[in-house]
């Protein structure tokens, strides 16, 4: 049986902070004799002295310092647990994870995160960045509770609900010094086959990975996210499609060149998605917040950094 209780730890912590048994009793709304008994009983059970007495004032012994060094972590964890349990009883999830497609800027979500914390400050929030099918897989594997900006209509098999939020168009771009930039006509497959493509690696672990706009046998540089793809294409290390809002300013200022190709990339519809049948308060809040698509549009417009 444990000799150390959370109540005894709280008592020792309060005495240490306030400097006397009387001050601790006042803060804890107890009589001083109860405080003295709690400390004496704990010292007896542990076989150590926790406080040096200097008249009405007290100070922790070395053993007392060691007890509180770890004991305060336990008190904090217990307090957090109590608050989370109360939140569960009120319908709020203890933790909520949002997976964001890599073509969207998570920093544009800051106002929404701030607003969420004002109503759900005890729900722990996690943001993940995924790419292509990996975004959907994060939901189905329960690594995420909500998808923001998931592209396409989602994998077969169901188990989730979704709603369209925004549509994004893509531009085929190369750096001004790239050999394809100087070809003054629509680029054919044969033109592209001679040069390197830059593609975003699908972050899916189990679902079939998607490849977008690549030719069979194409020399390809695979990168982890859309930001990296943008950076490498601007550096002239390859070609490919990028979200049009990302490259609009670069094209206007001559840092990237738009080319027409035989097979342009169709527009993508970006979705909000969640598992069917799960309706906690945090999920309901985020669904209502994201429903009009304005936040996703802002996340897309921010583009690369």
State the angle between helix axes of 62-90 and 6-18 in degrees (0 to 180), rounded to the nearest 10. Answer: 120
Mean pLDDT of the chain: 88
pLDDT tier at 215 (50, 70, 90 boundaries)?
low
Task: For residue 61, report the phi and psi dihedrals to the nearest 5 degrees.
Answer: -80, 175
**Pairwise CA distance, residues 97 & 94, whole Å:** 10
Q: For residue 206, what pLDDT is reported?
A: 57
Tokens encoding 291:
């429903």
The DSSP line for 173-196 is EE-TTSGGGG--SPBPHHHHHTS-
Going from the C-alpha of 120 to that of each of 83, 90, 96, 123, the distances in angstroms are: 11, 11, 11, 6
Six token digits for residue 118: 């004002």
∠ CA(120), CA(126), CA(132), 5° rounding? 130
Q: What is the pLDDT of residues 8-50, one digit of tens each?
A: 999 999 999 999 999 999 999 999 999 999 999 999 989 999 9
Question: What percentage of the chain reaches a pLDDT higher than 90?
Answer: 60
Confidence band of 213 (pLDDT split at 50, 70, 90): low
Q: Are 104 and 296 in contact (CB under 8 A)?
A: yes
220 vs 213, residue with greater confidence? 220
Q: Mind listing the domains of the chain with CATH numbers?
A: 6-90 (1.10.10.10), 99-167+271-302 (3.40.190.10), 170-266 (3.40.190.290)
Task: Output the pLDDT for position 217.
Answer: 57
Mean pLDDT (whole number) for 117-136: 88
pLDDT digits (tens, 9 = 90+) for 53-65: 888 899 999 999 9
First vs last Cα of the chain: how many Å apart? 57
**pLDDT at 165 (0 to 100):** 92
pLDDT tens digits for range 80-117: 777 667 666 778 888 899 999 999 999 999 999 999 99
Computed over its alpha carbons, how large is the radius of gyration of the chain?
A: 29
Pairing of β 160-168 and β 268-275? antiparallel
Q: How far apart are CA 18 and CA 27, in angstroms?
A: 9
Q: Pairing between strand 220-223 and 197-200? A: parallel
CA 259, CA 257: separation in Å to the nearest integer?
A: 6
Question: Sign of the C-alpha dihedral, residues 104, 271, 128, 109?
Answer: positive
Q: What ranges in 5-61 are assigned the alpha helix state H?
A: 6-18, 21-28, 32-46
Per-residue pLDDT, 274: 95
What is the spatial distance between Cα 88 and Cα 222, in angstroms, rounded to a whole number?
42
Please give the pLDDT value at position 302: 66
Q: 0.85 exceeded by the pTM? A: no
One DSSP character per residue, 80-144 reads: HHHHHHHHHHHT--SEEEEEEETTS-GGGGHHHHHHHHHH-TTSEEEEEEE-THHHHHHHHTTS-
pLDDT of residue 292: 87
Residue 293 has pLDDT above 60, yes or no: yes
Residue 211: pLDDT over 90: no
Whole-number pLDDT of residue 97: 95
């Amino acid at each position: 049986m444990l000799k150390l209780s959370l109540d005894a730890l709280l008592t020792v912590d309060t005495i240490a902070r306030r400097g006397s048994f009387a001050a601790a009793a006042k803060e804890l709304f107890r009589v001083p004799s109860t405080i003295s008994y709690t400390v004496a009983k704990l010292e007896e059970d542990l076989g150590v002295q926790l406080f040096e007495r200097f008249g009405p004032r007290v100070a922790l012994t070395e053993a007392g310092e060691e007890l509180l060094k770890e004991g305060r972590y336990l008190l904090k964890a217990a307090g957090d647990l109590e608050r989370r349990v109360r939140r569960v009883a009120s319908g709020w999830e203890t933790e909520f994870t949002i997976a964001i497609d890599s073509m969207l800027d998570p920093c544009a979500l800051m106002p929404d995160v701030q607003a969420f914390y004002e109503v759900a400050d005890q729900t722990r929030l996690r943001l993940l960045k995924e790419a292509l099918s990996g975004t959907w897989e994060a939901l189905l594997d329960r690594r995420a509770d909500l998808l923001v900006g998931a592209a396409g209509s989602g994998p077969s098999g169901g188990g989730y609900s979704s709603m369209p939020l925004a549509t994004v168009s893509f531009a085929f771009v190369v750096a001004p010094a790239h050999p394809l930039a100087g070809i003054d006509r629509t680029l054919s497959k044969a033109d592209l086959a001679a040069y390197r493509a830059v593609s975003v690696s699908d972050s899916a672990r189990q679902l079939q990975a998607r490849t977008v706009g690549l030719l069979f046998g194409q020399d390809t540089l695979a990168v982890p996210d859309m930001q990296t793809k943008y950076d490498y294409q601007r550096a002239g290390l390859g070609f490919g499609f990028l979200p049009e809002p990302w490259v609009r300013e670069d094209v206007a200022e001559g840092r990237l060149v738009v080319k027409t190709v035989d097979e342009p990339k169709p527009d993508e519809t970006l979705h909000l998605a969640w598992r069917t049948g799960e309706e906690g308060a945090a999920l309901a809040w985020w669904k209502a917040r994201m429903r009009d698509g304005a936040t996703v549009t802002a996340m897309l417009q921010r583009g690369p950094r």
